[in-house]
Structure formats: structure tokens, C-alpha cells
């Protein structure tokens, strides 16, 4: 096979603090053009200890070297399940860096920020059309932040009805953020079991007047469309509950179906997954939330209204839950998602989901003879295998590390928890057939290696600059910052 993972010259690099030499500088500022002022002595700090003194060249080399130790979507195939690591179009970055968008202050008067307000307003409209929800807020900073916002909206709604209710139902396949968000709204979490799909009967059996909401992911984290979703929503609604949908897997449904049409009441989007904004090594993303008409009054501040010929801030919203962050949302991320949707249009979005689902099913077809597939139903944009067929005492983590030697980022591993040694693969729509084939060839080769030479898996990765890390040591003796070593006498 054609192996893309190979050796290269990897440069070592110290911590930036270890480059520091007294008197080196990496900045320039204009001369002070007013008299220098000083603060009372008791308010003024002494010299700042530890901050590095380095030249500009050192800073540039330092971070360039660090970047070379990373693997990004632009480096190669990145099939992390549930994360939707699609290509991030560069035009999004150019758009977001325009001075009129990057440098606008959040307290600029509305009359002088009409362009920014139009982007927010129109993005809300577009997300509404895609999902079917009549009201969208772009306030939340991330998916988990959107969940928290959505669950607070649900709680505020129930309170207004006279009873906040006590419990939230969450299937065992859910992301860990779901229960963590529900608890922050003062709810007790009831875990319900599913067998690939969530059964409407199972949901109905748990429903009573104290259940505030069901939190569901659709397609779920096994990549399966919840085929009883309509009945599930009806069962929840029958007892006065609401249905929250984690929109992490929206990349399977663009232009295909609208979550609001399924009976879902609240859903968050992940703009950094579905709408191509870069993941940034862990953020920032954005987690807009869509809701039904009856929940709109509870959405957080701030909201934008379109008046006759201009946009205005809507300040008179007595039922709003308040704000969950400062200012108007992660606007820089919203600009990128706006740019993406405007370039794709309806046809492009639909094709995105079609190709994402095609790619995932192609991988499934190629790997099913070699890896154990615990759930056989037709999956959508991702597919989950287990470690069952790996030989030689090898586990999912060993296969994942061996993939690195072959030049790929591993899939999501050990999630969802309902599959033992889960290997969760989401290729996205932006990969070529060739890159997918190279990945499948490597996966097949690894399955074979586990039988013939399991040490190859257990030692992996061997081509990276550093090998497997001692995570137990890091947790046992946490060293969370650099400290200047005391001079020895």
C-alpha cells in the first residue's frame, strides 16, 4: 500500500520562557506623546517575574516549530466521529479578518453597526430555514454553552407554566455535556437505555408530570437516525415535556429534513462542525440555539429586530433568561459560518449531507469485513465499530496509535460508551475517494498486523516526535505551569 506516514526532520523546541535573556525585545511602540503618569505606590506592582524576554525571530520560530508537532485538517484525513472535521474554507478567514468586521467594538451604536447586525440577523434566518425553527439565537459560545442556554429556556418555560418540574431524561448514548448541562439548570438526570435506537415505548414508560425534557441526539452518536423520533416527541409532549436535540450531527440532515418538523422543541447547532468554522485546537466555536415559537420569549439577550429599514436591539423582553456571556455572541465565528452558507446555498448544503453520508457508508462497506460492527442498521454520516475483532490482545487505543504511524488522525475512540472499545469514524463530505481509500487500507492493514505482529500496534506511534505519554504521572503530580528554577549555590 501507498503509505503517507513517513519520517521527517522534527525540531526540538524549548519552552518560550527558557529562551528568555534579559534585555531582549520583540515589540515596538510609538513614543509616549503625553506626560508620563504614575499610580500611588501601593497600587503599583513591582517588576513582573517570569515573563519572557525574547526577540521577534525567536517567537516566530518557537511557534512555527510547535505548529509542526500538530496535525490539523489541512495536514490530512481527520475522521473524528461526532466532531465533523471537514475542510475549513480559507475564504471564511479572509472574510472574518476584514477590518470592518474584526475591529468593530461591541458597544458601537446600532446606527454605526448595521452591517454586523445584518450578518447576525441573516444568519439567524438561514439557520431557521435549515432547521425549521422560527427563532434562533446566536448568543452561545459553544455547543455545550448552547445546551445550557436551551435547557435554561426549557426550565424558564416550565416555571412560567407554574411548575419547573424535576427530571430530565437522557439516553445512554448521549454526550457527557448533556447531563452536565441539565444539572446546571437544577435538574435531576434520569438515564434511559437504548439499543441502537431509542424506543418510543421506553420514553413513554419514563414520562410523567415531573419530566421537564428529553435530551436526544439525532442522528444519534451511533450515526443512526432515530426512526421513532416522531413518536418519541409525541410521547414527551403528551405529558407536557419538551424535547431538546443535540445538533452535533446536523451534518447528516442539511436540506434532507428539518429537526423542527420531527417535533423537536429546542436544538443547538455547532457552527464549528456543520458550518465549517475551524476548531482552533479546541475552540472558539459557536453554538446557536433554535426554538419553537412558544419558547422564543425566553431566549437570552440580546436579540436583533428588523425594523422597516434598519436593524435594532430588542430590549423589551421580560421573560428572557438573561445573558450567558458578554456582548453579542462569537461574532467572528458567525461571520465565517455566514460566508460558508452564502457560498453553498440550498444545493450545496444538500450535497454536503449527501456526500458526508456516502463517504461514511463507503468506509463502513470497506471495513465491515475486517472490524466488528455492533449495530447493523443503515447509518448516516458516521459509523461505529468495536475492538472485538482486533487480535493479539490489542485494543482500540493501540489501533488508534498505529493509525498515526500511517499518517492519519485517529477516529474518536471509546465513545459512545455503549460500545466496548468504540471506534467512531466520521469522514465528512470534503474528502476524496483516494484519501478515504488510503485510510481504509491502513485500517485493514492494522487489523492484519494485530494478528501477525501485535507489537507494532502496542509500540505505536513510533514515527512521531514524542511517543505515548505517561498520563498517570501527569495526574498524580500535576505540573501545570513552568517555574523558574532556583539558582543552586
Partner 1 sequence: MAFTPHTDNDIVQMLKVIGANSIDDLFKEIPAEVRNKKDLKLEAPLSESEVLRELQRLANRNATPETHRSFLGGGTYNHFIPAVVDFLTSRSEFATAYTPYQSEISQGTLQAIFEFQTLICQITGMEAANASMYDGASACAEAALMAARLTRRKKILTSRALHPEYRETLATYCRFLEMELIDLSFNKNGETSLEDLQAHLDDQTAGVILGYPNFFGVIENIAPLAPLVHDQGAKLVVAVQEAASLGLIKAPGALGADIVIGEGQSFGIPPAFGGPHAGFFAVRQKDVRSIPGRLVGETVDQEGKRGYVLTLSTREQHIRREKATSNICSNHGLCALRATVYLSLLGKDGLRTVAVQNHSKAEYAKQQISAVDGFTLPFSAPTFNEFVIEAKEPVEQVMARLESNGILGGIPLQTFYPEMENHFLVCVTEQNSREDIDILVQTLGTSRT
C-alpha torsion 41→42→46→51, nearest 10: -120
In the complex with partner 1, which residue's Cβ is closer, 7 or 489? 7
Give the torsion sign (CA, 133, 248, 168, 239).
positive
Residue 412 φ/ψ, nearest 5 degrees: -65, 135
In the complex with partner 1, which residue's Cβ is closer, 114 or 445? 114
Query: What residues form DSSP beta bridges with 196?
Result: none
Q: Is 437 helix (H, G, I), strand (E, B) or coil?
A: helix
Contact 11, 65 (CB under 8 A): yes
In the complex with partner 1, which residue's Cβ is closer, 66 or 451? 66
In the complex with partner 1, which residue's Cβ is closer, 471 or 486? 471
Contact 263, 229 (CB under 8 A): yes
Please name the residue ranges forming H helices in 266-310: none
In the complex with partner 1, which residue's Cβ is closer, 109 or 318? 109
CB atoms within 10 A of CB 169: 26
Q: What whole-number distance in Å separates Cα of residue 193 and Cα of residue 92? A: 41
In the complex with partner 1, which residue's Cβ is closer, 114 or 389? 114
Query: What residues form DSSP beta bridges with 449?
Result: none
In the complex with partner 1, which residue's Cβ is closer, 160 or 451? 160
Q: What whole-number distance in Å separates Cα of residue 269 and Cα of residue 267? A: 7
Q: What whole-number distance in Å separates Cα of residue 472 and Cα of residue 464? A: 21
- Determine whether 44 is exposed, middle or buried from the number of CB atoms within 10 Å of its CB (0-12, 13-18, 19+): exposed
CB of residue 220 to partner 1, shortest distance in Å: 12
CB of residue 307 to partner 1, shortest distance in Å: 15
CB of residue 309 to partner 1, shortest distance in Å: 13
Amino acid at each position: 500500500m501507498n503509505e503517507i506516514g513517513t519520517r521527517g526532520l522534527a525540531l526540538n523546541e524549548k519552552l518560550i520562557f527558557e529562551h528568555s535573556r534579559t534585555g531582549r525585545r520583540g515589540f515596538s511602540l510609538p513614543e509616549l506623546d503625553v506626560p508620563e503618569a504614575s499610580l500611588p505606590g501601593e497600587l503599583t506592582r513591582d517588576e513582573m517575574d517570569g515573563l519572557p524576554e525574547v526577540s521577534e525571530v525567536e517567537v516566530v520560530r518557537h511557534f512555527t516549530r510547535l505548529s509542526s508537532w500538530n496535525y490539523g485538517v489541512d495536514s490530512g484525513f481527520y475522521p473524528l466521529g461526532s466532531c465533523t472535521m471537514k475542510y475549513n474554507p480559507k475564504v471564511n478567514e479572509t472574510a472574518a479578518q476584514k477590518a470592518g468586521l474584526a475591529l468593530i467594538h461591541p458597544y458601537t451604536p446600532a446606527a454605526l453597526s448595521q452591517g454586523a447586525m445584518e450578518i447576525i440577523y441573516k444568519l439567524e434566518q438561514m439557520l431557521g430555514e435549515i432547521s425549521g425553527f422560527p427563532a434562533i439565537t446566536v448568543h452561545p459560545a459553544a455547543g455545550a454553552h448552547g445546551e445550557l442556554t436551551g435547557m435554561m429556556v426549557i426550565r424558564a418555560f416550565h416555571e412560567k407554566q407554574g411548575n419547573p418540574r424535576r427530571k430530565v431524561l437522557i439516553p445512554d448514548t448521549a454526550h457527557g455535556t448533556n447531563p452536565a448541562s441539565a444539572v446546571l439548570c437544577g435538574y435531576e438526570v434520569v438515564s434511559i437505555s437504548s439499543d441502537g435506537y431509542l424506543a418510543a415505548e421506553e420514553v413513554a414508560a419514563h414520562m410523567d408530570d415531573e419530566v421537564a425534557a428529553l435530551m436526544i441526539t439525532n442522528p444519534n452518536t451511533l450515526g443512526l437516525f432515530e426512526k421513532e423520533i416522531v413518536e418519541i416527541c409525541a410521547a414527551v409532549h403528551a405529558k407536557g415535556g419538551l424535547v431538546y436535540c443535540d445538533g452535533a450531527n446536523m451534518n447528516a440532515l442539511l436540506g434532507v429534513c428539518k429537526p423542527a418538523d420531527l417535533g423537536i422543541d429546542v436544538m443547538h447547532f455547532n457552527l464549528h462542525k456543520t458550518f465549517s468554522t475551524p476548531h482552533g485546537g479546541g475552540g472558539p466555536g459557536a453554538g446557536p440555539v433554535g426554538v419553537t415559537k412558544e419558547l422564543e420569549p425566553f431566549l437570552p439577550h440580546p436579540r436583533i429586530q428588523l425594523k422597516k429599514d434598519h436593524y435594532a436591539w430588542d430590549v423589551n423582553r421580560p421573560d428572557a433568561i438573561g445573558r450567558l456571556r458578554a456582548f453579542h455572541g462569537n461574532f467572528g465565528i458567525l461571520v465565517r459560518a455566514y460566508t460558508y452558507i452564502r457560498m453553498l446555498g440550498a444545493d450545496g448544503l444538500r450535497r454536503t449531507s449527501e456526500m458526508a453520508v456516502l463517504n461514511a457508508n463507503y468506509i463502513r462497506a470497506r471495513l465491515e469485513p475486517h472490524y466488528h460492527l455492533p449495530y447493523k442498521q443503515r447509518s448516516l454520516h458516521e459509523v461505529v465499530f468495536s475492538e472485538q475483532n482486533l487480535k493479539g490482545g490489542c485494543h482500540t487505543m493501540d489501533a488508534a496509535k498505529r493509525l498515526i504511524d500511517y499518517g492519519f488522525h485517529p477516529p474518536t475512540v471509546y465513545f459512545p460508551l455503549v460500545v466496548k472499545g468504540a471506534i467512531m469514524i466520521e469522514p465528512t463530505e470534503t474528502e476524496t475517494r483516494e484519501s478515504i481509500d488510503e485510510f481504509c487500507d491502513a485500517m485493514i492493514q492494522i487489523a492484519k498486523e494485530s494478528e501477525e505482529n501485535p507489537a507494532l500496534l502496542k509500540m505505536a506511534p513510533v514515527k512521531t516526535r514524542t511517543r505515548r505519554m505517561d498520563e498517570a504521572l501527569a495526574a498524580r503530580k500535576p505540573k501545570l505551569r513552568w517555574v523558574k528554577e532556583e539558582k543552586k549555590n
